Structure 1
Amino acid sequence: MVANGHSGLFIKPADALLVIDMQVDFMPGGPLGVAGADGIVPLINRLCELPFGLIAATQDWHPADHVSFDMRGGPWPMHCVAGTKGAALVPDLAQAHIGVVLRKGMQPDLDSYSAFEDNARASRTGLDGLLRGRGINRVFVAGVALDYCVAATARDAARAGFATVVLTDACRSVAQSAAVEQAALVSEGVETAHAVDVLALMDRGWTPRQIANVLDSLLARKSYVQAIADKALEIYNSHDCPRHRELSDALMELAVMDAGPEFELGRDAVHAIINRIRSV
């Protein structure tokens, strides 16, 4: 299924971004270059600036005699040999935003497409436990190749119980057309969407300064408590909801003001919270 409406694509701390195999050897000109893979780096970098609860990247990290190499009868030329320049993440990738790097395909006789486990399902990376430990319930997947490691990761994520969205315009394929692979994923319960729609939605969000100015104008009213509480809750719950945890917390403090006398705040206290919002 395609992700339900653009508002459902708003990124929250319970979302994770999985950046799959954006490595030098998979870029055009590399031994296993994927056409157009270098062109998605800027798009992935913009995604990395969004408030995901976790951004994780994967690397193929093969021994020199790996079973997938054609010299051993495998389907691929030698690529991403552990410790080589070709196995490194591409230099232009926004690596400062990546919190975890998972290496896979390290056993000589087992290949591993998925970020969750090897192809034989004999060993796991621990990614599912890491995601759950961070409170993640939805994952977005981008990178290369859509018809191999991206698809395998997405299927395993869905199998592990995570809502899963493949950002098809932030992926590139080796051979299978994106449309064919997308249809196969959708038939297995994986959602698809466009990264550009995610970015456009997030860009429409009010800035903290704009939110503070709106709330400040309500503070001038006689009956400011309910007015500010209602507006704070509306912003918190809408598709224009905050991108920062500090902003979320401040809006919720204002939203509960009308829940009862014990929650009501004086003008000075409200003004202090609004100033906190302005400084986010």
Structure 2
Amino acid sequence: MDPETTDALPGYSASLRAFHRAFHRELRRAVAAVPLPPGSRVLDVPCGDGFYTAALARRLYPFGSVTAADHSDAYLDAARERLGRQGRTADIAVVKADAYRLPFRDGEFDVAWCARSLISLDDPVAALKEMRRVVRPGGLVAVLEDDEFHRMQVNVPVALELDVLRAVADAARERYGSRAGLSPARQVFRHLLDAGLRLEVRKTFAADRHAPFDPAVRRYLRAHLKETRDLIADRLPPAALAALDRQSDPRDEGSPFRRPDAELTCLTTLFLARK
């Protein structure tokens, strides 16, 4: 985590907001799968824009508390703005914190929640060890992660899908080396074990949509395809790049925006590990 980047939202923040809006029902089902007895003390780290903090706090109302922690000033501001618009929730605190050196006592929380963030951490095991430290004996560390290679499956032409997957794999190796990269969910179990945690539950949630897509899904699809193009445009053969551009164009009759048989599936996996 680079302190020089904490004053601005990351480039993927717009895509992330669109993802939350498009699939909020399924994401809240994942939050609902975490056991939270009344009075639970929950840490959300890194909290990002507070989407999951709000969902956790609504679940705990009227008892319990949620502490939202992040190293990014921009994300903390976004979280405060979001959480300030919430209705009745459990108590919420927003705290600037380094995921590797959390400013909390040993055993201060019942649950530590980490959603779709391991990809951005240089040392996910060190961060998970800190989460383990700050939950009580017998407490939970809950991790929600994607397999980015297959996070969203869209019925685009198979040849294009294969070209895109190869290019994404190359970009991931260059950007992340041996780290979690674009397939963090495949490594979470190993990371949890290395952090001294015992996995109790692994559950995958699927969000299925079919044509005609609602506006929220269309916005996310556009953001996702743009993000993918930005990542791999210089790695695709010209014909594959042209095909990706056609699939990304809402005016193209062959794109998922216009095809009457368009469908997509988004996958995200919840891991519940015990201290």
Q: Into which bin does the TM-score normalised by the smaller protein fall? A: 0.3 to 0.5
TM-score, length-scaled by structure 2: 0.36
TM-score, length-scaled by structure 1: 0.35
The structure with the greater share of residues assigned to strand is 2
